[in-house]
Amino acid sequence: MSEDQTITKNISVLLREILYFLPVFLIIFFLLSPIFSWALGAPFYRDIQLMATNEFFGEQLNLSPTNFLKHYSMQLGSLAIAYKFFDFSSFSYFALNIILRIIAAFVIFFFVTKWTKSRLAGFLSSLFFGINTAGIRSTVDVTLFQVYIAITFLIIFLDRWLAFHNHPNRRNLIVSTALFVITILSYPERMVGLPFLVVAAELYWLFKSFKDKMNRTLVLFHLLSLIFILILLIFITGSLSPIGEVAAKQVSIGVLLLSLLIGSPDTIAAIFAFIGNLLIPSPPLNSNYLDIQIIKSLGDLIPILGIIFVIISLIKRKFLLAYLWVIPIVFSPFISQSKLELVGWQEDWIAVTRLGGTLFTILNLALISLWQKNKTLSGIGLLGTGLVLSNLLLPWLISPQNNSASDQSAFRFVHRYYTVPSIGMGLLLSCAVSLILQSFKKNLLMRSMLVLLIIVPTALLILLQVVATRHYIMAQDKYINLNDANAQKIDLFWTKLRPFVKNIKGGEDNLIYIDSDGSLSERYITAYFPVRIDMTTKGDSPKLKFIFQESELDQYLMQHPDNQTLETALFAFSWHNNNLKDIKNELLNSYDQSL
């Protein structure tokens, strides 16, 4: 096959996969579509101000590795670049974020479909990632769009990494190693769990390659190269050193391992509290449509079903599997006995932990039990488990504490760390479902039963994620009142206002009076426009105040009779029917005549 034919074939394959991905695209797009109408919220301005402090803009954008590649600098740097293109266009930022999320979902779809030969697995894994409630804050907090670029690199790396271990050669070795570096550098703070996963898997593959001398040498060289590069990256990025946000909650690996060895209920419950939230959105979020008693009842019922699998394993004389299937039976009561220091509504997390943790355990056991049926499908699912554990368990184990209720919300403190694990949970769920259905496709009776036992619960899990995510977006929309700001109107107003205020002098008290037709959000402009103007002016930060009431303007004019001061420190505009007019001279003349 010629090179042109190969390119044509690859393009046709890509187009076909895009067509199959279309339903996932539509679901994600319509689910997240309300976000397009939002104005830029507090997280955006918080990061904008932070970057300004650290000189991330203009000619002072710091690209040196010692600074730019540490912790959140990649995120802030990407936001600085976006700011150069989008200024304060809210639609552009949210469109970029959602497009990058959809691209990451498609890459997951393509990766899973390619390796498992199952479009059902590809569909479920990409859909679960795209709609997952626990990771939605990476889209709601628009400044976190960099994580989706990192996820895209992560999936491409996993593809080339698996390609190397399926066909060990120099080309695959070089490509996978290079992508390992690119993936970590794309967002060091979000990829801190990747080295744990990679090194553990590399040791497994090295053990498997002992009988093959040629492959063993390549695998060993690959492992040593990755370790050397990892050590180098740690010094460059500082990605494993604690930062203020997580330092107080980090638990050392030694403490973690000891807790697991002695079976500390608090430790295991803390781990599964966050794992459970990936599968079952936390009850307080769903209180309007999901009774917590339903989750508690399912948490009691599902472990009982494990008894059936124990009996089946014993009948087939598979004693190890019988032993493993005891885990979901004892897991629920074990978690119930844990004495977590939870506050208020957080007590409901025990129910989520029991049900979500039990389902997580059962999905893994299903993959292990059916390993011989399809090793690739099972392996991709277990790779998903590795992504979940490496990104939640080893880098930072977050133990519930009673000092702040908001700290424990899955959508506050750890929401940023949920985005990558949501990929893994999607892989685990989709591969387990596909493998179970494939394993019994010749048995029509069993397959019919599995449709009820597997497809229906899976559909309910997906539906729960969709409803919870939609509910969360609507709740956020109402809570921060972003739509009240009328983002498109705000952006248009800013475009027309900016030429008038870009030369505001710093270090002075400035007043901006707006005679509005009521189409603008006074709350939003008062809160955020001083920051916008500060970012567009040169010199010292100006002291700004926006007013919308004529009585406040009259009071200001009475306090500042000096016309010279008014000439430089007062700005007045009329905003009617989307037209901005400078009315400062008219107001001053009218005020002078009244005197």
Using the 3D structure, point to which of 239, 272, 291 is the last residue of a domain. Answer: 239
Look up residue 216 and give its two tokens: 């063993």
Q: Are the C-beta atoms of 520 and 575 separated by less than 8 Å?
A: yes
Q: Which residue has the higher pLDDT, 72 or 256?
A: 72
User: Which residue reads 């976006």 in tokens?
Assistant: 82
User: Which residue reads 């809570």 in tokens?
Assistant: 479
Backbone angle region of 583, left / alpha / beta, with phi > 0 → left and psi within -120 to 50 → alpha: alpha
CB-based contacts of 498: which residues, under 8 Å, 6+ apart?
Answer: 536
Q: Please, which pLDDT band fits residue 404 given cuts at 50, 70 and 90?
A: very low
H/E stretch holding 516: strand 509-516
pLDDT digits (tens, 9 = 90+) for 162-180: 999 888 888 989 999 999 9
Q: Which residue has the higher pLDDT, 158 or 362?
A: 158
pLDDT at 263 over 80: no
* Residue at 102: amino acid letter: I
User: Quick one: average pLDDT of 272-301?
Assistant: 72
Measured CA distances, 161 to 17, 219, 385 (Å)? 22, 11, 17
Which residue, among 299, 281, 439, has the nearest Cα to 359 in the 3D structure?
299
Q: How many domains does the chain have?
A: 2
3-state secondary structure 157-181: HHHHHHHHHHCCCHHHHHHHHHHHH
Give the burial class of 188: count Cβ atoms within 10 A of its Cβ; 0-12 exposed, 13-18 middle, 19 or more buried. Answer: buried
User: Does 562 map to a domain?
Assistant: yes
User: Does 576 map to a domain?
Assistant: yes
User: Does 187 map to a domain?
Assistant: yes
pLDDT at 428 over 80: yes
Q: Give the pLDDT of residue 529.
A: 86
pLDDT digits (tens, 9 = 90+) for 287-318: 555 677 777 777 777 777 777 778 877 887 77
Alpha-helix runs per DSSP H in 548-583: 550-559, 563-569
User: Does 319 map to a domain?
Assistant: no
- Domain containing 194 equals 155-239
Alpha-helix runs per DSSP H in 69-135: 73-86, 90-116, 119-131
* Residue at 391: amino acid letter: N
Look up residue 158 and give its two tokens: 């996993």
Helices (H) and strands (E) in the chain, counts: 27, 4
Q: Please, which pLDDT band fits residue 477 given cuts at 50, 70 and 90?
A: low
CA gyration radius for the chain?
28
CB atoms within 10 A of CB 239: 24
pLDDT digits (tens, 9 = 90+) for 70-126: 666 777 788 888 888 888 888 999 999 999 999 999 999 999 999 999 999 999 999
Mean pLDDT of the chain: 78
Residue 129 and residue 132: Cα distance in Å, rounded? 5
Using the 3D structure, point to which of 239, 255, 273 is the last residue of a domain. Answer: 239
pLDDT at 153 over 50: yes
Q: Which residue has the higher pLDDT, 423 or 143?
A: 423
User: Does 231 map to a domain?
Assistant: yes
What is the pTM (predicted TM-score) of this model?
0.88
Q: Give the pLDDT of residue 288.
A: 57
Residue 122 and residue 431: Cα distance in Å, rounded? 9
Using the 3D structure, point to which of 218, 239, 260 is the last residue of a domain. Answer: 239
pLDDT at 394 over 80: no
H/E stretch holding 201: helix 194-208
User: Quick one: average pLDDT of 150-170?
Assistant: 93
Q: Give the pLDDT of residue 405.
A: 44
pLDDT at 408 over 50: no
Measured CA distances, 2 to 5, 7, 9, 16, 545 (Å)? 5, 9, 11, 21, 68
User: Quick one: average pLDDT of 126-146?
Assistant: 88
The SS3 of residue 412 is coil
Which residue, among 380, 382, 369, 384, has the nearest Cα to 440 in the 3D structure?
369
Q: Please, which pLDDT band fits residue 386 given cuts at 50, 70 and 90?
A: very high
Q: Give the pLDDT of residue 445.
A: 65
User: Does 4 map to a domain?
Assistant: no
Give the burial class of 592: count Cβ atoms within 10 A of its Cβ; 0-12 exposed, 13-18 middle, 19 or more buried. Answer: exposed
Measured CA distances, 389 to 127, 131, 382, 423 (Å)? 21, 20, 11, 12
Look up residue 476 and give its two tokens: 């956020």
Q: Give the pLDDT of residue 209.
A: 73
Q: Give the pLDDT of residue 411.
A: 39
Look up residue 568 and give its two tokens: 């430089």
Cα–Cα–Cα angle for 417, 421, 425, rounded to 5 degrees: 150
User: Does 565 map to a domain?
Assistant: yes
Q: Which residue has the higher pLDDT, 157 or 186?
A: 157
Q: Please, which pLDDT band fits residue 400 given cuts at 50, 70 and 90?
A: very low
User: Does 28 map to a domain?
Assistant: no
pLDDT at 258 over 70: no
pLDDT at 243 over 70: no
Q: Give the pLDDT of residue 266.
A: 65
Measured CA distances, 449 to 303, 384, 477, 553 (Å)? 19, 26, 42, 74
> Sign of torsion, CA 585 587 588 592?
positive
pLDDT at 371 over 80: yes
> Quick one: CA torsion of 346, 347, 350, 352, rounded to 10 degrees?
-50
Q: Which residue has the higher pLDDT, 493 or 254?
A: 493
CB-based contacts of 301: which residues, under 8 Å, 6+ apart?
Answer: none
Residue 531 and residue 546: Cα distance in Å, rounded? 12
Q: Please, which pLDDT band fits residue 480 given cuts at 50, 70 and 90?
A: low
Cα–Cα–Cα angle for 45, 51, 56, rounded to 5 degrees: 140
pLDDT digits (tens, 9 = 90+) for 321-351: 777 778 888 777 777 776 655 655 566 777 8
Look up residue 377 and give its two tokens: 């499908």
pLDDT digits (tens, 9 = 90+) for 201-223: 998 888 887 766 667 788 888 88
Q: Are the C-beta atoms of 245 and 382 separated by less than 8 Å?
A: no
Cα–Cα–Cα angle for 446, 433, 291, rounded to 5 degrees: 100
